[in-house]
């Protein structure tokens, strides 16, 4: 199935204890699309950039067979920019600068040729815009949504309305507690799933991820890495690997959902090994399958 991805394209200035990277290609939809492109050759993007988004940036996406005809280019405008500094534990960061630029007036318009897409991935954008995108899609087979605490606190009712039309919801542990109003993640999952999404994934950073479905709970470990350079985009890269695997499945069941979580975790583990999209733009399926097998071995017990 084709995958439609709607979210931000951006330039990031990143500082970590292990180095820095300026003018780095980023944005939620960029990470999702690059990650998913290893599993599907039918990736479609809707977003907005300024005239500073150069042909080389589009070429990187096109080299992964990502269709960018839905990306609006605002002449004389500037692309969304973010700057941040990470602390030693990498779970804590300081936002140094945010410039919405053309993203401030983003009005997602889904080209007609995208409107019958089977899988829709809504990146971390205003829930009212997420709803607007869904209104333009005919009959999606699966809708995946991401959000952040800014929207949970700022537009809770709009978010809940959007969640009623979502199949899979991906968020981190602090966002889950904030949205549910409960500190216990198992209780949080039950409360959030009652809002609409029957499949829920709660990411826990270096502690892995939890998958909640009607058939129970699946806990995926995080991959133990010696070198972590930059966690920016890891969550979006996870989403790309997750939905990428599902897009190639003839039948989506609990087993495939669990595999998808491991593929998502594998892709996220590659992302943090270099700055920005550098690592995930230059992988092979052999790299990915080897990392997936390593995830399987982390919890394997021989009887």
Spell out the per-residue pLDDT of the chain, length 303, in tens: 899 999 999 999 999 998 999 999 999 999 999 999 999 999 999 999 999 999 999 999 999 999 999 999 999 999 999 999 998 877 778 999 999 999 999 999 999 999 999 999 999 999 999 999 999 999 999 999 999 989 999 999 999 999 999 999 999 999 999 999 999 999 999 999 999 999 999 999 888 999 999 999 999 998 988 888 999 999 999 999 999 999 999 999 999 999 999 999 999 999 999 999 999 999 999 999 999 999 999 888 887
Residue 214: name the closest of 236, 183, 193, 243 by CA.
193
Degrees, nearest 5: CA angle 182-187-190 = 120
What's residue 212's pLDDT?
Answer: 98
Where in the chain does DSSP place strands (E)?
Answer: 3-6, 10-16, 19-26, 43-50, 66-74, 80-86, 93-99, 119-122, 142-146, 168-172, 199-203, 209-213, 216-220
**Residue 228: predicted pLDDT:** 87
Instruction: Report pLDDT for 167.
Output: 97
| Res 74: pLDDT | 97
Which pLDDT score is estimated for 301? 84
Give pLDDT, residue 54. Answer: 94
Nearest to 3, CA basis, from 32, 28, 25: 32
């Amino acid at each position: 199935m084709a995958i439609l991805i709607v979210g931000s394209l951006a330039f990031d200035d990143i500082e970590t204890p292990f180095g820095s990277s300026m003018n780095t290609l980023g944005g939620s939809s960029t990470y999702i699309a690059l990650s998913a492109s290893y599993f599907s050759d039918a990736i479609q993007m809707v977003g907005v950039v300024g005239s500073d988004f150069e042909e080389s940036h589009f070429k990187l996406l096109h080299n992964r067979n990502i269709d960018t005809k839905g990306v609006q280019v605002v002449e004389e405008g500037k692309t969304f920019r973010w700057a941040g500094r990470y602390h030693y534990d990498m779970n804590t960061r300081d936002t140094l600068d945010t410039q919405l630029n053309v993203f401030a007036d983003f009005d997602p318009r889904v080209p007609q040729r995208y409107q019958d897409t089977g899988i829709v991935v809504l990146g971390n954008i205003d829930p009212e815009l997420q709803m607007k995108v869904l209104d333009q899609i005919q009959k999606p087979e699966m809708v995946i949504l991401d959000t952040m605490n800014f929207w949970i606190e700022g537009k809770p009712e709009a978010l809940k309305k959007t969640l009623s039309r979502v199949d899979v919801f991906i968020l981190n542990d602090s966002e889950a507690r904030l949205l549910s109003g409960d500190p216990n993640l198992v209780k949080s999952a039950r409360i959030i799933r009652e809002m609409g999404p029957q499949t829920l994934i709660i990411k826990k950073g270096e502690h892995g991820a939890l998958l909640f479905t009607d058939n129970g709970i699946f806990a995926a470990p995080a991959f133990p890495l010696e070198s972590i350079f930059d966690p920016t985009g890891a969550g979006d890269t996870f989403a790309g690997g997750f939905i990428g695997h599902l897009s190639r499945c003839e039948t989506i069941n609990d087993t495939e959902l669990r595999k998808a979580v491991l593929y998502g975790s594998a892709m996220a583990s590659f992302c943090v090994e270099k700055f920005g999209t550098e690592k995930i733009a230059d992988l092979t399926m052999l790299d990915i399958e080897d990392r997936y097998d390593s995830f399987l071995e982390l919890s394997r017990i021989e009887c």
